[in-house]
Every structure is written in C-alpha cells, then in structure tokens.
Amino acid sequence: MSLARTASQTIGPFYNFALLGGADNDLTRRSKGGPQAAGEVVEIKGRVIDGDGAACACALVEVWQADAEGRYGADRDPNFAGFGRTLTDNDGYYTFTTVLPGPVPGKGNSWQAPHMSMSLHSGGLLKQVNTRLYFPNDDANADDPVLSGIEDDGQRSTLVARAAGEGRYEFDVILQGEGETVFFQL
Amino acid sequence: MANTTDVTGRHYPDSGQNTDPPYLHPDYKSTIKKSPQRPLVALEHSVTELSGPAFEAGEAGENDLTVQGDAMPLGERIDIQGRILDEEGNAYAGALVEMWQANASGKYRHINDGREAPLDENFIGAGRCVTDAEGWYSFRSIRPGPYPVPGGWWRPAHLHFSVTGPSVVTRLITQMYFPGDPLLEDDPIFHSIADDAAREALIGKFDLTLGEPSVSLGYRFDMVLRGQAAG
C-alpha cells in the first residue's frame, strides 16, 4: 500500500497561543525547576531575516539535538529535553538555552561534529525549512560529512554559529538572498 | 514537553512523492521574500534525523476546545477524528497533534488579529492530544468562521494542524478545510498545492457517525506522514 503524503500548509501568523508553553526554549531541564542536564550550558541567540533583510517576526523555530555525551536514545541524560521550540520576537530574534551537544555517529565509522537540527515555520513559508547549527572553532567540523559536503566556503559558513562571549553563540537564519542559509532536503 | 526519544524502526526514504507546495507561490504574496532561492542541499539521514521527541498523552480535556471557558462557546459544534499514518498505512503512535483555529466569527485570540470581529470569551481555540497505539487523534471544537485577509482575499474556514514526532523528517504543519466551501476556489494558500488529489485530501470528510447525536457534526481527517516500516 502506498498512501499519498499529506501536503504542508503555512503555519500562518496566529499560532503562538496554541504551540508555545512556558519554557520550551530551555532544553537544559525537562520541567521548570527540575534538575539540570549535564554539560556546558550555552545560550544560542539569532535572528530570522527575509529577502529584504527585514526581521521575520512570529517564526516558529524548533531544535533537536543530542545530549552532552552525543546521545539521542533511551540512554540519553534523563534531565535533558533534546527538543525545543520558540517564537521570534518583533525584531526577529529567538533564544535557546541548552547544553553543548557531544559528537554523534555518522555513516559507517565516521563521526559528525556537534550540531543541532533546526527547522523553521512562518507565515509566508508554505512548508518548513530545515538547517543545522554547528559550533565555531570545533576541530571536528573539518571532518563532518555534512559540512565537508558543501564546497562553497560562504555557504558552509552559514551553518556555523558565531562565538559571542563565554557560553554564548549567535546564529542567524537568512531565508533568501545574500548570505542565504543552507537549507536541506531531508 | 518532550519525553523520551522514540526510534521507531522506520526509515524515511524519498518515495518520490511531491505533494507539498513550493516555497515560492507568488499568488500568496508573503512567500515572495521568504522563499529560499538556492536549491536545497540533499542530507543523508543520520541518527539526528532518525530520532526525535516522543510525547506522553496529554491531560483529559486538552482536546476539547468547547470546555475551556466558563460556558459553551458560540458556534456549530464539530468532532474531528483521524489517524496519523505512514506511507504504508502503519500508525504513528505517540505523535503530538496540536490544533488551533479562529472562533465562529473568524477571529483569532491573538494580539495581531486586528480585524473588527468579536472574540468569544468562552473560546481560546487551541487544543492538543497524543495519538494512541492505532494512530488515532480526536478533537471537539466549533466550526471556525472564514475571515478576510487584509487587502486581499477571504480565507475559507480552516483548522490548523501541527504534528510533531517521531522525527524532523515527519514534521507536518497543515490545514483542514471543510467540504463545499465556495471560498476554496480562490484561496491561494489552498491552491499553492499543485496536485489536485493532494489538495482535495486537505478537505475533511463529513461523517455524521463521527459526531454525537443531536450534539455535534463529525469530520474525518487522516494525515499521512513520510516514512515506511524498516526492512
């Protein structure tokens, strides 16, 4: 049997009362006031920008990542959420608090550099865009199969966050035009 | 909100189906500056794409949008039921299904909805549930009203659906429409889907047996996510 896949439609502008809870952008705890996940706590801040360079407000940003030891499965740190979502503000900014992920297995014997999977929905987007966030100054980036598969230096650099001080990283998502973020066909 | 990781034993090959709309659909003007222009880069699925969040069943009543106020909201009561399936018809259990909508006047409880139409103090317009072992979800609500898009067209009555889990590859946000709505003919968002059958599949199927006698009207709306059983 082969069923036709259900088509995507835009999230539209009026959803935040439905999809957002209190602390969904804090991956370091499974519940408010609960124990903190192991690892180095980091803050990721970024801006979502459209083809005019204008802020993309009310975009839904979702992330999925391994814990500090690079685990996704049932053996994962029980205090680590792994999945998070948040909304961009009127100036297009989003923020996540998380722990630095560990390296995770790739194809065969290869390893992938620490990364986060990131997806965005917005009014004006008829289906999600998918990208990845890598961390700067990580030696493993050079051997990462996804990063090294992108030949153009400028395009590859759109997947690497900027260091912005102790435990802080910045990662903008440019939907269109100059500096357009690399988006993946999953 | 996320619970344990669910590695489902499925894989997500590209089955060649292309039901989704393109990023750029100029009739829906908001896509013009938000659509990526470079081709997407193929990404071979790794454990990052094959794993994802799983969700625990919500609290009772979270899927009944008619009991969130002190009294019953205005409007025609409806029941929506359906299954979340993969491309082979296997159930997706434990998927988070969220639904949100305008009220019977076509007004959202949202600060940016500036349209002159009344809010209903007994209607928030958002619910959630987690699919059971057979992939079923259900919601009770009221039929939303259509509404005009500022400076543009009228949106047909619709329910927004978000399905999360088990993987980023299966993530789906879509809308369910109502059969026989004359506004469907000119809605650029509905018509962003080129394939006739894929477009029509977003129209819920009226089914009186899914409603409660003398209380509500029923609609069936299944959603098919990417994926096949492993093997």
Please pick, among B155, B177, B219, B226, the residue that the annotation labels catalytic: B155
Interval B38-80: pLDDT, tens: 999 999 999 999 999 878 777 677 999 999 999 999 999 999 9
Q: How confident is the model at residue B231 (pLDDT cuts 50, 70, 90)?
A: low
| pLDDT surpassing 60 at residue B2 | no
| Residue B158: active-site member | yes
Share of chain A above pLDDT 90, in %: 84
Asked whether the beta carbons of residue B21 and residue A127 sit closer than 8 angstroms, the reply is: yes
| pLDDT surpassing 60 at residue B1 | no
Contacts of B109 in chain A (CB under 8 A): 17
Q: Is A10 on the interface with B (CB under 8 A)?
A: yes
Asked whether the beta carbons of residue B41 and residue A149 sit closer than 8 angstroms, the reply is: yes
Tell me whether residue B38 is in a domain.
Answer: no
Q: Is A157 on the interface with B (CB under 8 A)?
A: no
Q: How confident is the model at residue A73 (pLDDT cuts 50, 70, 90)?
A: confident
Tell me whether residue B58 is in a domain.
Answer: yes
| Residue B177: active-site member | no
Tell me whether residue B203 is in a domain.
Answer: yes
Interval A24-69: pLDDT, tens: 999 999 888 899 999 999 999 999 999 999 999 999 999 999 999 9
The CATH number of whichever domain residue B153 belongs to comes to: 2.60.130.10
Tell me whether residue B214 is in a domain.
Answer: yes
Reported as type and span, the H/E element at residue A154 is helix A153-157
Share of chain B above pLDDT 90, in %: 81
* Domains delineated in chain A: 16-174 (2.60.130.10)
Instruction: Give the Cα separation of A88 and B90 in Å (integer).
Output: 35
Tell me whether residue B8 is in a domain.
Answer: no
Q: How confident is the model at residue B7 (pLDDT cuts 50, 70, 90)?
A: low
Domain count, chain B: 1
| Alpha helices for chain B (secondary structure H) | 47-50, 196-200
Asked whether the beta carbons of residue A12 and residue B32 sit closer than 8 angstroms, the reply is: no
For residue B68, what are the domain limits?
53-229
Interval A82-112: pLDDT, tens: 999 999 999 999 999 999 999 999 988 889 9
Q: Which of B89, B113, B172 is facing A3, going by the closest CB pair?
A: B89
| Residue B160: active-site member | yes
Place of tokens 């969040």: B53
Tell me whether residue B5 is in a domain.
Answer: no
Tell me whether residue B41 is in a domain.
Answer: no
- Does residue B166 have a cis peptide bond before it, meaning omega lies within 30 degrees of 0? yes
Q: What's the average model confidence in pLDDT over B117-121?
A: 95
Asked whether the beta carbons of residue B30 and residue A3 sit closer than 8 angstroms, the reply is: no
Contacts of A17 in chain B (CB under 8 A): 100, 109-110, 124-126
Q: What is the interface size between A and B, counted as CB pairs within 8 Å?
A: 233
**Beta strand spans in A100-137 (E):** 104-105, 111-112, 115-121, 129-134
Tell me whether residue B1 is in a domain.
Answer: no
**Beta strand spans in B50-143 (E):** 77-85, 96-100, 126-130, 136-142
> pLDDT at position A15, please?
87
